[in-house]
Chain A
Amino acid sequence: METLLEWIKQPWPWYVSGPLIAFVMLALTYFGKGFGMSSNLRTLCTIGGADKFSDFFKFDWKNELWNLVVAQGAILGGFVAYFYLNDAQAINISEATKESLHNYGFSNPGATMVPSEFFSWEAVQDPKIIATLLVAGLFIGFGTRYAGGCTSGHAISGISNLQIASVVAVIGFFTGGLIMVHLIFPFLMPILL
Chain B
Amino acid sequence: MIERLAETIRTAASKGEALYVRGGDTKRFYGHAVEAQPLDVRSYSGVVDYEPSELVITVRAGTPLEEVERTLAERNQMLAFEPPRFAPGGTIGGAVASGLSGPRRQAVGAVRDFVLGVRMLDGRGNDLRFGGRVMKNVAGYDVSRLMAGALGTLGVLTEISLKVLPRPAAEATLRFEMPEAVAIQTINTWLARPLPISASAWQDGELLVRLSGARVAVESACARLGGERVDDAEDYWRSVRDHTAAFFRTDEPLWRVSVPSTAKPLELPGAQFIEWGGALRWLVTEADARTVRAAAEARGGHATLFRGGDGQTPVFHPLPPVAMDIHRRLKREFDPHGILNPGRMYKEL
Do A and B interact with each other, yes or no? no
Binding site for B on A (CB under 8 A): none
